[in-house]
Amino acid sequence: MTAQPLTADVTPASRLRVVRAKTPAVSNRMFILMIAVLVILGLAGVMVVTTQVGAQSKELSALRRESTELGYTAAALTSQLQQVSSANALALRATQLGMVPNPYPAFIHLADGSVTGEPTNVDGDELPYLRGRRTRVTAPAAPVIVPEREAEAEPPADTAEGADSVVAAGAVGE
């Protein structure tokens, strides 16, 4: 191929143009101001969250302390309930109400209605040791002969007078 000469009347289209720097949409001062506002808002948020966590921590401590105290109270009440509902306490309370133990119990079987044992009425003196009473020791039928020396020192404990003082001291709920 051969080169053809350029004619003077044809001007080539220029592909190059002048580029000018565009002005920024946000100035440097505005950018710094936005960053400062974001930092201040972040610090304020951290301060609010920290304050709320501290308040909730104090509330949690108070609730834990109250829970511990209520646990101790529940344990004390459970212990008191066990003491009051023990067999000995119930027997003592029944005695104070005037109930007497029956050494001849009869049982009703609810499934078939049968009765096991013979129902027997009691007058209350059958089991005095269960009611907190001591049996009264009566004076012996024959007089007790005590030598002179021992009689002056101290009266014997098994006389009727000594037995009355033991019964009065041992009587419970009467």
The whole-angstrom separation of Cα 73 and Cα 90 is 23
Distances (CA, A) of 41 to 72, 75, 117: 47, 51, 88
**Which tokens sit at 124?**
């209350």
* Digitized pLDDT (tens) for each residue of the chain, 174 residues in all: 566 666 656 566 667 777 777 776 778 888 899 999 999 999 999 999 999 999 999 999 999 999 999 999 999 999 999 998 898 888 888 888 888 777 888 899 999 999 998 888 887 777 766 655 555 656 555 666 766 664 455 555 554 444 444 443 444 443
Which amino acid belongs to residue 153?
A: A
Q: What share of the chain is helix, strand, coil (3-state, %, to 5)?
A: 50, 0, 50
- 171 close to 164: Cβ distance less than 8 angstroms: no
Write the DSSP string, 43-102: HHHHHHHHHHHHHHHHHHHHHHHHHHHHHHHHHHHHHHHHHHTSHHHHHHHHHHTT----
The whole-angstrom separation of Cα 117 and Cα 106 is 5
